[in-house]
Amino acid sequence: MEKALKQQPSNCIKVVVFGPESTGKTTLARQLAAYYNSVWVPEYMRAYLQAVWENERRTCQPKDVLPIAKGQIQSENELAQKTDTVLICDTDLLELKVYSEAYYLGTCDPSIEKYAIENTYDLYFLSYIDVPWEADDLRDKPNERKTMFKAFESALKKYNRPYVLLKGGQKERLDEAVTHINQLLKSKA
């Protein structure tokens, strides 16, 4: 179990696109991977829960959280070996911890919590709620965007994660993210 949630060593800079649902995280992750001709780690939770919805017509339950966490880290570890520049992560275990606590009365599986805190990233991009909310099969908190945003920002602050708040349209967000990633790459060189 321990190994299934632990990051493996890599030579790349790791950044996380982080924040509430429907704030442009996946779009930005794809754009950044294309910009840097690198790889991005899709949000495993989305694919997993979409399959659950289509096959069982149910939403996420506590029993789903650990398999989601394992799938996310497995994908991240595999893809981190395919780049030596920058890995763009469309979520991490800290995001899963925030969602778990929001949906399940403030609780999170202790092993997920442990690695949400221990796994490290070079930078987080916190995506603000200034883009229109778009409904889909999984999104369910259109009226709780401010509350969820505060929960995500609080987690970054609580665990002293380096982050940049991204606001505005796609171009503004991409430009801001590129500026910060370029600074990281320059300091790594």
Q: Based on DSSP, count helices (H) and strands (E) in the chain, helices before strands.
A: 8, 5
- pLDDT confidence of residue 105: 85
Q: What residues contact 83, with CB distance under 8 A and at least 6 apart?
A: 12, 38, 39
For residue 12, give the amino acid letter.
C
- pLDDT confidence of residue 53: 87
- In angstroms, the Cα distances linking 169 to 136, 154, 163 are 21, 23, 18
| pLDDT(31) > 90 | yes
| pLDDT(101) > 60 | yes
- pLDDT confidence of residue 1: 56
79 near 43, Cβ under 8 Å? no
CATH number of 2-188: 3.40.50.300
User: Residue 118 is encoded by which pair of tokens?
Assistant: 């221990």
User: Residue 89 is encoded by which pair of tokens?
Assistant: 């992560």
Cα-Cα-Cα-Cα torsion 166, 170, 171, 175, nearest 10 degrees, comes to 30
Q: Of 6, 79, 8, nearest to 40 (Cα)?
A: 79
Indicate the pLDDT class of residue 141, thresholds 50, 70 and 90.
low
* DSSP for residue 137: S
Q: Of 152, 17, 179, 135, nearest to 98 (Cα)?
A: 152
| pLDDT(80) > 60 | yes
